[in-house]
Amino acid sequence: MKILFVCLGNICRSPMAEAMFTAMVAQAGLANQVVVDSAATSNEEVGNSAHPGTKKILAQHGLSSQGLVSRQIATADFYESDYIICMDENNRWDLQRIAPADATAQIYQIFDIVPGQKGHEVADPWYTGNFIVTYQDLDQALPYWLDLITKQLA
| Residues classed as catalytic | 7, 13, 124
Average pLDDT (43-65) is 98
One-letter-per-residue 3-state SS of 77-119: HHHHCCEEEECCHHHHHHHHHHCCCCCCCEEEECCCCCCCCCC
Average pLDDT value for residue range 124-147: 98
Is the pTM value of this prediction over 0.75? yes
Domains of the chain, each with CATH number or no CATH: 2-143 (3.40.50.2300)
How confident is the model over 12-43, as pLDDT tens digits? 999 999 999 999 999 999 999 999 999 999 99
What is the end-to-end Cα distance of the chain in Å, rounded? 12
